[in-house]
Chains A and B, each alone.
Chain A
Amino acid sequence: MTDLPTVPATAAKAAPRRAGGRVRVTGTDRIFLILMVAIPTIMVLAWVWLPAIASVVLSFASWTGVGGLDTIKWIGTENYVNVFTNYPPFAPALRHNLIWLAFLFVLPTLFGIFLAVLLDRELRGTRFYQSALFLPVVLSLALIGFIWQLIYSRDQGVLNAVLGTQIDWYGDSRWNLWAVLVAAGWRHTGYIMLLYLAGLKGVDPSLREAAAVDGASPVRTFFSVVFPVMRPINIIIIVVTVIEALRAFDIVWVINKGTNGLELISTLVTANVVGEASRIGFGSALATIMLVISLVFITIFLSTVMRGEQR
C-alpha cells in the first residue's frame, strides 16, 4: 500500500556508543556476514534501484514495449518536451498533486499536530480519543474510497441528505478532488497525530516545567520551547506529507482510475503502461519527473535522520 513507513528520527540518539571498536571476523563467520548483507542488498538493488535507473534511461527512448531491446529508438529529450507541451492531462495532474499537497498540509497535518498537542495534556480517557483518530490509519486508502461512497453517493449519501443537495461527489469533476481529499485527510490526520504524539512524549518534561516556572503560558511554551526541540519530527512530518501527496494513487484509482477531474501524475504513469497503448518512453519521462521530486525530499529526510544517527 502507499503507506509511508516513517523512520523515527530521534531513535538513534539513545543508542549507546559501541565499546571496543572493530571486531575481527574470520572463516565461516565472514561468509555468513557477507551473505547476510549481500542477499537483501541485491534484492533491494534489483527491485528498486535498477528499475529507478532504468526509468530514467527509458525516458529518453521511444519504445512500444513489444519486441526486444534492439527495437528501442533513442530520441533524446523529446518525451519531456511532449510531456510539457503536448499532453493535456499533465497540467491538471500536476495541479492536482500540488492541491493534494497543499490541502494535506493546511488541514490534516496541522490538525493532526493540534490534536496531538491537545491529547498530550493527560486527558482522562485519552486512549479512547487516540483510538478513534487512529482507526482510519489501519484502513487502506482503496477501502476508504469505498467507505466514503456511503457518504458521497448522490442518491443515498449522508452528505446530500444533510445539505439537501443532489451532487454526485465522486462523479462531478467540480467537487470530486475535494471529496477525495477529505477522505484521504481523514486518514492522514490520525497518522500525523500518532507520529507527533510519540514525539511529544519524548520531549524532556523538565523543559516544560522550567518554562512554566518562568511563567510562560502553555501556548507560548509550545511555540518557544517544545516546537523547536521537535525539529526532527517536524521535518519528518513535512517529508511524510510531501511523499504521501506525491504517491497518492489508490483512492483515486479505485474510484475512477484517475480520470474526470482526479488525474494525478501517478495515475498517468500507470495508464501509459498498463493501458491499451503502452508508451514506455513517454511513461518513463513522467516517472522520472516523480522520481526527481521525491529524491529531493528523500535526501532532506535521510540527512535529518542520519544526522540524528551520528550524534
Chain B
Amino acid sequence: MSTATVTRRPTTQAAAAKARRRLTAGRVVLYVFVTLTALAWLFPVVWALLNSFRDYNYTSVHGYVSLGGFTLQNYVNAWEQGEFTRHFLNSLIITVPAVLLTLFLASCVAFVVARFSFRFNLVLLGLFTAANLLPQQALLIPLYRAYREIPLPLWMSDSGQLLDSYWGLILVNTAFQCGFCAFVLSNYMKALPHEMFEAARVDGAGVPTQFFRITLPLCRPALAALATLQVTWIYNEFFWATVLMQSGDKFPITSSLNNLRGQFFTDYNLLSAGSILVAIPVLIVFFVLQKQFVAGLTLGSTKG
C-alpha cells in the first residue's frame, strides 16, 4: 500500500499541476492520499470477507491470489465448530439487560445531578467517571474472590455462585459503563429547557413524573446514541467474560474466541468466516447505526 502511495503521488501531482492551478494540485494530492489511506484501512476486513468465501483445498493449491473455489461451506463449518448459536445467545442474554440497566441507572443519577444543585454533584460525577477509566485488571483480584464467595440460588445460576453466572457479568458491565452514560446524560439534561420543569412543578408533578414523563422522553436522542454505543461495547467486552466465566458453554461470543483459536488458526478460510460472523452485529452498527454510534462517542462536544 505504502509503495503505491509513493509511486503514484508525484505523477498525479505533476499532471494536475499542468492541468489546473497550483491550489488544486494540492487538493489532488490530498484526495489521492486520503483515498489510499481509506483503502488500506478497509483492506484487512475486505480480505477476511473475500477469503471467507474461498474453499480451503482450492486456495491451498492455487494460493490466495487466485480466482475460483468460491463456497459458503466455511460459514457452515465455522458456525458449527464454534457453536455460534449458543455463544450468540449468551451475548444476547448478557448485552440486552446490561444495556437497559446501565441506561436506566445512569439516567437516574444524571437526572439528580442535572436538576438539583447538590454540593456533591461534582464529587459524584468524578466518582462515576473515574470508575470508568480504571484498568479492569487492577480490580480483578478482590472482585474475583468476592464472586466466588457470593452464593446465588441454583435457579439463578447453575454454578450456585456469582462467579460463572450471567448475573455476575451483567452487573459488572453495568457498574463499569454507568459512569460514562451518567456524564453524557447529565450534560444533555442540563441543556433541556428549564421552564418545562417549572411548569410541571407548578402543575403539581412530582419527581417520578418529571423523570419518567418529561425528562426521559426528551432524552430519547441521547439514549438512542448511548444504547448503540453500549450494545457495541458490551458485545465486544472480553476481559470480564474471560475471567469471570468458567464453563465454556457460557462464554459470550467475543470471549469464546479464546477457545476457538486452536481450531480456527489452522484453516484461514474458516478463520475468515468465523471472524466475519463474530463481526456481523457490530458491522450492522457500522452500516446502519453509524450516525448514532459516532454521536454517542462525541456527544456533547458537538453541542458546544
Contact = CB atoms under 8 A, between A and B. Distances in A.
A139 B117 contact: no
A138 B207 contact: no
Given A47-B176, A115-B34, A129-B34, A291 B138 contact: yes
Nearest to A236: B301
A21 B187 CA distance: 18
A15 B283 CA distance: 34
B140 A269 contact: yes
Interface stretch (A6-14, A98-106, A173-181, A220-228): A6-14
A5 B179 contact: yes
Interface in A113-149: 115, 118-119, 121, 123, 128-129, 131-136, 138-143, 145-149
A195 interface: yes
B155 interface: no
Nearest to A126: B34
A201 B295 CA distance: 13
Interface in A38-82: 39-41, 43-52, 54-55, 58, 65
Interface string B189-222: 0110010001000000011100100000000000
Contacts of B153: none
A210 interface: no
Contacts of B51: 150
A48 B133 contact: no
B254 A143 contact: yes
A225 B82 CA distance: 53
Interface in B68-84: none
B156 interface: no
B106 interface: yes
A265 B141 CA distance: 14
A302 B129 CA distance: 8
A16 B191 contact: yes
Contact of A294 (B108, B134, B144, B294): B134
A184 interface: no
Task: Name the residue among B182, B183, B282, B301 with the largest chain A CB count within 10 angstroms.
Answer: B301
Contacts of A20: 194, 198
A165 B132 CA distance: 43
A269 to B, nearest CB: 4
A194 B298 contact: yes
17 contacts: A7-B184, A8-B184, A33-B112, A39-B108, A43-B171, A44-B131, A47-B171, A48-B139, A128-B38, A138-B285, A147-B48, A150-B51, A156-B268, A273-B140, A273-B144, A287-B139, A294-B133
